[in-house]
Amino acid sequence: MSDNKLLQLSFEFAVSIVKLVDTIKTPKSSYMLDQLARAGTSVGANIHEAQYAQSKKDFVSKLEIALKEVNETDYWLKLLRKTERISEEDYQFIAKMGGTIRRLLIASCKTAKGAIL
């Protein structure tokens, strides 16, 4: 994979989300799992897409969408943990990765916005 830490981490995040979703067998959780899978895999997809942005504004827009998606992913993870559908260990591992991605995205957006102004 690339030397870009954000790209690498967001891909690993998506893989972790997919693996987690595939382990949960509670049928009544399917609506939450669908949302988690969509938001969690969208993070990396938007970061990847940002690498081919048409402009700085487009680049920032894609990163901001990824930031929103990582925040939504955190919500679904918290809900799944609170309803005891995932373990504390799984929650902590993925939430920590999401927090790192969130911080990198915030810093990247600030840097890119500074370049636009």
Helices 5-23 and 56-82 pack at an angle, to 10 degrees, of 30
Name the helix (H) or strand (E) containing 12. helix 5-23
In terms of residue numbers, what domain contains 10?
5-116
DSSP characters for 83-94? TTSS-HHHHHHH
Residue 85, C-beta contacts closer than 8 angstroms, at least 6 positions apart:
24, 26, 29, 32
> Tens of pLDDT along 28-56?
889 999 999 999 999 999 999 999 999 99
Q: How far is C-alpha 40 from the geometric centre of its chain's CA atoms?
A: 4
pLDDT of residue 3: 67
Residue 14 has pLDDT above 80, yes or no: yes
Query: Which residues, in sequence order, are CB contacts of 83 under 8 Å at separation 6+?
Result: 29, 32
Provide the domain count of the chain.
Answer: 1
- Asked if residue 117 has pLDDT above 70, the reply is no
For the stretch 56-109, pLDDT in tens is 999 999 999 999 999 999 999 999 999 999 999 999 999 999 999 999 999 999
Report the largest interatomic distance among the alpha carbons of the chain, rounded to a whole angstrom.
Answer: 49
Q: Which two tokens stand for residue 3?
A: 């030397």
CATH number, position 28: 1.20.1440.60
